[in-house]
């Protein structure tokens, strides 16, 4: 026994001795996902992972008594952060003004009360990591009085703690804060950016991935981690853990849909309110590229009440539905009518005339479209997005990590 210790590296010797003499009361945790550090990004990652049905541990060196919420993030809140702000409103029983201060201590107490009730979530406070190493296809984390075995790690630290502790040599993909429409990878966007330089201003999924197949970063830049980027990372990690796979085998559309289900904005338009009844259709169709936003005076606009031309949608629609190229040969218009759009849907989906009656019946009730059903008038971008999304479902078409359509 002593011989095996002598042959062990000095650092490992100390750990082995420690475990030998503490094994009587050491506790072992097994988890699908472990999130390192309770930064705002870490909190959001852990909450999302647990919400997605995966046993999750949030691990931090400190007591997690305070949570800082930058004003800029509050101004663009969605998902987990918006849920937090809604909780604050309920507690104080009146609307939360955008500039009303929220102290870090008060925010910390609310998050503690909230996270204590979330199924699948365990929080280990005051638990510095002694050692982190690969174990099978996952990881083993050694703490002072416990050991954690996990499938996936989310690094939500500002100092890339997982990289340092596990002696990894990689960082996330060096993509810009966003990519332009010229790069199809925008279709894999999983969080809308509040600070925007390149449009459509959405962070691609691969910018969260490590070359280690079971590590997810809470954002490409450790100095710019947010609640939103952490929530996106939590969804990636929970997907891999839930489906017993790794980050090389991700279904991007399922991850995006999971985030949309929990109300995170993946792509954001300055002229569309989060409460807009068509918001989901706008986001999903925008992420296919069939409808593209317009940049004006530094703002990213959908212009939902403007018209749609056959030329602006011809190429992207053909990418998803090759059969449609025949339709476009006979239909060229600067302002497509509602009748023409329904004709395109029927042609591409091989639907019959019954679609017109179905749309007319559901115009206000299920589709929640304003105005009257009128086949002759020009269709608006709002109507186009809602109808295309509902009856052709292009967002269900899989894309690879480069945003290329998979068939």
Rounded to the nearest integer, the mean pLDDT of the chain is 91
The dihedral over CA atoms of 76, 188, 290, 283, expressed in degrees to the nearest 10, equals: -30
Residue 153 has pLDDT above 80, yes or no: yes
The whole-angstrom separation of Cα 382 and Cα 384 is: 5
Tokens 């000095």 identify what position?
Answer: 10
Residue 67 has pLDDT above 50, yes or no: yes
From residue 295, how far is each of 2, 181, 198, 238, 301 by CA, in Å? Answer: 69, 12, 10, 34, 6
Residue 248 has pLDDT above 70, yes or no: yes
DSSP string, 99-150: T----HHHHHHHHHHHHTT-TTEEEE-S---SEEEEETTEEEEE-SSEEEEE
What per-residue confidence (pLDDT) applies to 5?
Answer: 33
Residue 28 has pLDDT above 90, yes or no: yes
- Confidence tier at 1 by pLDDT (50, 70, 90): very low
Residue 2 has pLDDT above 80, yes or no: no
pLDDT digits (tens, 9 = 90+) for 160-200: 999 999 998 876 655 555 678 999 999 999 999 988 888 99
- Confidence tier at 99 by pLDDT (50, 70, 90): confident
The whole-angstrom separation of Cα 199 and Cα 187 is: 12
pLDDT digits (tens, 9 = 90+) for 374-393: 999 999 999 999 999 999 99
The whole-angstrom separation of Cα 242 and Cα 129 is: 25
What per-residue confidence (pLDDT) applies to 192?
Answer: 95
The percentage of the chain sitting over the pLDDT mark of 70, rounded to a whole number, equals: 92
| Cβ neighbourhood burial of 294 (10 Å; 0-12, 13-18, 19+) | middle
Average pLDDT over residues 201-217: 94
What per-residue confidence (pLDDT) applies to 133?
Answer: 95
């Amino acid at each position: 026994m002593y011989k095996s210790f002598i042959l062990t590296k000095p650092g490992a010797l100390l750990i082995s001795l420690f475990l030998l003499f503490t094994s009587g009361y050491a506790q072992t945790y097994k988890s699908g996902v472990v999130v390192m550090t309770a930064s705002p990004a870490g909190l959001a990652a852990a909450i999302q992972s647990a919400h997605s049905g995966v046993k999750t541990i949030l691990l931090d060196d400190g007591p997690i008594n305070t949570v800082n919420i930058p004003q800029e993030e509050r101004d663009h809140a969605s998902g987990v952060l918006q849920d937090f702000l809604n909780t604050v409103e309920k507690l104080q029983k009146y609307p939360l003004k955008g500039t009303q201060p929220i102290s870090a201590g008060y925010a910390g107490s609310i998050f503690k009360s909230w996270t204590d009730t979330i199924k699948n979530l365990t929080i280990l406070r005051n638990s510095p990591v002694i050692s982190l190493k690969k174990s099978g296809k996952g990881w083993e984390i050694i703490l002072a009085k416990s050991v954690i075995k996990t499938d996936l790690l989310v690094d939500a630290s500002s100092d890339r703690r997982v990289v340092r502790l596990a002696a990894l040599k990689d960082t996330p993909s060096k993509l810009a804060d966003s990519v332009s429409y010229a790069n199809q990878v925008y279709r894999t966007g999983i969080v809308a950016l509040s600070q925007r330089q390149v449009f459509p201003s959405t962070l691609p999924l691969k910018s969260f991935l490590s070359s280690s197949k079971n590590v997810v970063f809470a954002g490409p830049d450790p100095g710019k981690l947010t609640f939103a980027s952490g929530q996106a990372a939590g969804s990636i990690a929970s997907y891999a853990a839930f489906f017993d796979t790794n980050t090389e085998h991700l279904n991007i559309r399922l991850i995006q849909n999971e985030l949309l289900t929990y109300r995170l904005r993946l792509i954001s338009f300055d002229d569309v309110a989060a409460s807009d009844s068509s918001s989901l259709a706008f986001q999903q169709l925008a992420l296919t590229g069939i409808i593209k936003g317009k940049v004006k005076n530094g703002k990213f606009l959908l212009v939902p009440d403007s018209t749609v031309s056959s030329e602006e949608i011809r190429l992207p629609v053909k990418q998803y539905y090759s059969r449609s190229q025949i339709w476009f040969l006979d239909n060229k218009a600067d302002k497509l009518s509602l009748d023409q759009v329904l004709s395109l849907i029927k042609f591409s989906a091989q639907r019959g005339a019954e679609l017109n009656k179905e749309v007319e019946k559901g115009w206000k009730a299920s589709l929640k479209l304003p105005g009257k059903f009128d086949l002759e008038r020009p269709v608006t971008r709002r109507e186009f997005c809602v109808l295309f999304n509902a009856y052709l479902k292009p967002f269900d078409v899989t894309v690879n990590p480069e945003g290329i359509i998979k068939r």
